[in-house]
Amino acid sequence: MRPERLNDLFKEVQTLDGVGPKLLRPLEKLGLTRLRDLAYHLPDRFVERRAVPDLDAATVGENIIVAVTVREHRQSGGRGPFRVMAEDALGNSLAITYFGRASYSAKKLLPTGTKRWVAGRLDQYGQQLQMVHPDHVAENSAMLSGQACEPVYALSEGLTQPRVAGFVAQALAQLPDLPEWIEPGLFDRMKWPGWQEALRSAHAAPHAEARDRLAYDELLANSLALMLVRASNRSQSGTPLTGDGHLRDKLQLPFALTGAQKRSIAEIEGDMAQSAPMLRLLQGDVGSGKTVVALSAMLIAVEAGAQAAMLAPTEILARQHHATLMQMAAGTGVEIALLTGRDKGRARESVLMGLLDGSIDLVVGTHAIFQDTVSYRNLALVVIDEQHRFGVGQRLMLARKGRRPPHTLAMTATPIPRTLTLAQYGEMDVSKLDELPPGRQAIDTAVISMERVPEVVERLAAQIAEGRQAYWVCPMVHEHETEDIAAAEARFAALKERFGADVVLVHGQMKPEDKDAAMERFSGGQAKLLVATTVIEVGVDVPNATLMVIEQAERFGLAQLHQLRGRVGRGSAKSVCLLLRSDALSETAKRRLALMRETQDGFRLAEEDLELRGGGELLGTRQSGDTPFNVASLEQIQRLLPLAHDDARLLIERDGGLEGSRGEAARLLLYLFERDWGVQLLRGG
């Protein structure tokens, strides 16, 4: 139960003045549903603007406040912009321009013949001076005083800066008094403000100490929660599993294990023999051979008379893993089943029976394998593939499935830098597959301009003529999924004209059956070219594919590009990756693409990507997209996470039950950042 003193913070935004039903959706889009969210909706930046007597005193590009007289309203075309034509004190013309629905309110704010003060960025459109969507329109200059340094918030359609600022102010007015949870020595050394003051300052002006303190809070909450998971796991007793090797001996692998694979298997074997449940992450680049490590772990469980389950993030991957495991384990006599949300009726019933009576040893599937209706006779090992797709909360749910907490092996192919590993998987022990199986050829990577698409198509034709297969990945921008799909469909249509039935398309909005059918045609070799959005990102294994084309490569993260590139170079033939780039690229974007050409080491790419993105970051801009954080930026994660981690460890060592006065404060922190599963473990254990 959440402590009462946080109740005000978790009140719904509807309780604020001015938040009616119409604004709920726009607020929700920004993740703002409770006062707490508003308090932590920190400004993206601040604008400083200058009051000028007339437009002659201003420069284009500057943020200004100026008085104008409204002359005329102009609506150009049906969907064109709405322009309010106005004049400054010298008779200079200013077009105040609105797009879309904003024009309705513009008519009311700026009636013809009236004098108004407008605040915003002065632009030029041809010869015409203009101001697009002013930040403020006021009837007198006094209403704009005190706005010289103003926060700029992330918005969604239907919201304006003043509105959001007003809601934030209301939320800040209701901040409760909370005890300090930061270690006193650190708090003094950093000269950080207290929690309340930090929130208020961070909204008022660019205030580095305040932002750091708030970021640190979030990092500390995360580290604490992960450490509580770890401590609680240690205190539990699971089933020690020792295998005699009789099944692993029957594995007929067409290759010898790499040193890294042997080492990882030994580490896993050691963990599984303990009664404290294993909590281990297997980190290994695409193609490093995680599947056979997972299979070995599962066979240990079966040798010891127990069952194992493998969770995959998608239907396609579950099917592929099932097929691979069936093949690898063919000689062992182990019973392997597949269970996904799409299995219904008799087939499903028979799998459920088999899991219950123990006749099935291994099951592979999507989250369907952990639904309430699924019971196991003796589940003792859970393998989670592509761990980053699942949160810690979900993982804890899985752990409740066995009679005793099962051993957990999590796997990820996303090579993330060490600091982020700590942030995301701080509760786990890590095994690293840092050695690729021998005989892999380097993948030639080239960065080329989009204009050369025709050449790329010729290259593709040559590959296909040689009996090879290829991928063509279309760009993906999450805010506009429909547009992405449209782009992928257009590319597909164009390539289909050239290659006919050899081309298949896979994207995120297709029906699962259609997606699987297309994937099967490609992996079966009937289709030669797979056009896709990033749905092929994880796990797909088609060794005959030797060409990867990625459109607008600059839009992808390096980790993602690396994973995509890893789809080729899986067989013995020479493979090529072509990164198609747009023309206007920032220096950072160029550098990032160049790195892709320089190295194929995923861990190095991850470290350098963090460096490039983190370093180029402005104060407080949150680009922490693929981290579990909303407040802390990449740069802050790098700088402050190690501190938070050590601090959390010390606190747990001294006061594992969080019962002392600092412990009490830390509990509040966990609730504040909704890591309360950490606290719940305290109660349970």
Residues in contact with ligand ADP by CB under 6 A are 255, 257-258, 261, 284, 286-292, 413, 437, 541, 570
Report in angstroms how near the CB of residue 319 gets to ligand ADP at its nearest.
Answer: 14
- Identified binder of Mg ion from the candidate list 475, 539, 663, 678, rule CB under 5 A: 539
Q: Say if CB 369 and CB 342 are below 8 A apart.
A: no
If the CB atoms of residues 412 and 419 are measured against Mg ion, the closer one turns out to be 412
Nearest CA-CA partner of 570 in 543, 592, 533 = 543
Report in angstroms how near the CB of residue 570 gets to ligand ADP at its nearest.
Answer: 6
**Spatial separation of the C-alpha atoms in residues 387 and 244, rounded to whole Å:** 29
> Which of the listed partners (Mg ion, ligand ADP, none) does 297 bind, with a CB threshold of 5 to 8 Å by partner kind?
none
> Which of the listed partners (ligand ADP, Mg ion, none) does 426 bind, with a CB threshold of 5 to 8 Å by partner kind?
none
If the CB atoms of residues 297 and 637 are measured against Mg ion, the closer one turns out to be 297
Sheet holding 379-384, edge to edge: 336-339, 362-365, 307-311, 379-384, 407-412, 279-284, 429-433
If the CB atoms of residues 175 and 323 are measured against ligand ADP, the closer one turns out to be 323
> Which of the listed partners (Mg ion, ligand ADP, none) does 258 bind, with a CB threshold of 5 to 8 Å by partner kind?
ligand ADP
Q: Residue 445: CA atoms inside 13 Å, Cβ hemisphere, count?
A: 22
> Which of the listed partners (Mg ion, ligand ADP, none) does 255 bind, with a CB threshold of 5 to 8 Å by partner kind?
ligand ADP
Residue of minimal Cβ distance to ligand ADP: 289
Nearest CA-CA partner of 155 in 43, 308, 75, 281 = 43
C-alpha pair distances (Å), 403 with each of 307, 371, 377: 12, 15, 9
Q: Say if CB 177 and CB 4 are below 8 A apart.
A: no
Report in angstroms how near the CB of residue 284 gets to ligand ADP at its nearest.
Answer: 5
**Spatial separation of the C-alpha atoms in residues 469 and 163, rounded to whole Å:** 54
**Would you count residue 287 as binding Mg ion (CB under 5 A)?**
no
> Which of the listed partners (Mg ion, ligand ADP, none) does 287 bind, with a CB threshold of 5 to 8 Å by partner kind?
ligand ADP
Q: Where are the beta strands (DSSP E) in 524-632?
A: 529-532, 545-550, 576-581
Residue of minimal Cβ distance to Mg ion: 539
If the CB atoms of residues 362 and 505 are measured against Mg ion, the closer one turns out to be 362
Q: Name the segment binding Mg ion (CB under 5 A); options: 9-17, 29-37, 346-354, 532-540.
A: 532-540
> Which of the listed partners (Mg ion, ligand ADP, none) does 306 bind, with a CB threshold of 5 to 8 Å by partner kind?
none
**Spatial separation of the C-alpha atoms in residues 14 and 625, rounded to whole Å:** 28
Report in angstroms how near the CB of residue 297 gets to ligand ADP at its nearest.
Answer: 13
> Which of the listed partners (Mg ion, ligand ADP, none) does 238 bind, with a CB threshold of 5 to 8 Å by partner kind?
none
If the CB atoms of residues 94 and 606 are measured against ligand ADP, the closer one turns out to be 606
Q: Say if CB 546 and CB 464 are below 8 A apart.
A: no
118-144 exposure pattern, b = at least 16 Cβ within 10 A, e = fewer? bbbbbeeeeeebbbbbbbbbbeeeeeb
If the CB atoms of residues 99 and 255 are measured against ligand ADP, the closer one turns out to be 255
Q: Name the segment binding Mg ion (CB under 5 A); options: 25-33, 149-157, 396-404, 534-542.
A: 534-542
Report in angstroms how near the CB of residue 599 gets to ligand ADP at its nearest.
Answer: 18
Report in angstroms how near the CB of residue 521 gets to ligand ADP at its nearest.
Answer: 20
If the CB atoms of residues 9 and 328 are measured against ligand ADP, the closer one turns out to be 328
Report in angstroms how near the CB of residue 587 gets to ligand ADP at its nearest.
Answer: 32
If the CB atoms of residues 31 and 331 are measured against ligand ADP, the closer one turns out to be 331
**Spatial separation of the C-alpha atoms in residues 537 and 513, rounded to whole Å:** 19
If the CB atoms of residues 412 and 546 are measured against Mg ion, the closer one turns out to be 412
Calculate the CA 536 to chain-centre distance: 16
Report in angstroms how near the CB of residue 509 gets to ligand ADP at its nearest.
Answer: 26
Q: In angstroms, how far apart are the furthest CA atoms of the chain?
A: 93
Report the DSSP pairing between strands 576-581 and 503-506.
unpaired
Tokens 């009636």 -> residue: 111
> Which of the listed partners (Mg ion, ligand ADP, none) does 288 bind, with a CB threshold of 5 to 8 Å by partner kind?
ligand ADP
∠ CA 662-666-670, nearest 5°, is: 175
Q: Return left, alpha or beta for 358; rule: phi > 0 is left, psi -120 to 50 is alpha, else beta.
A: left
If the CB atoms of residues 200 and 562 are measured against Mg ion, the closer one turns out to be 562
**Would you count residue 289 as binding Mg ion (CB under 5 A)?**
no
Q: Say if CB 372 and CB 397 are below 8 A apart.
A: no
Report in angstroms how near the CB of residue 365 gets to ligand ADP at its nearest.
Answer: 17
If the CB atoms of residues 286 and 564 are measured against ligand ADP, the closer one turns out to be 286
Q: Return left, alpha or beta for 303; rule: phi > 0 is left, psi -120 to 50 is alpha, else beta.
A: alpha
**Spatial separation of the C-alpha atoms in residues 189 and 74, rounded to whole Å:** 59
Contacts of 17 (CB under 8 A, 6+ apart): 170
Report in angstroms how near the CB of residue 500 gets to ligand ADP at its nearest.
Answer: 30
Report in angstroms how near the CB of residue 622 gets to Mg ion at its nearest.
Answer: 31
Amino acid at 90: L
Report in angstroms how near the CB of residue 435 gets to ligand ADP at its nearest.
Answer: 9
Q: Where are the beta strands (DSSP E) in 248-327?
A: 279-284, 307-311
Q: Which helix (H) or strand (E) holds 146?
A: none
Size of the site for Mg ion (CB under 5 A): 1
Binding site for Mg ion (CB under 5 A): 539
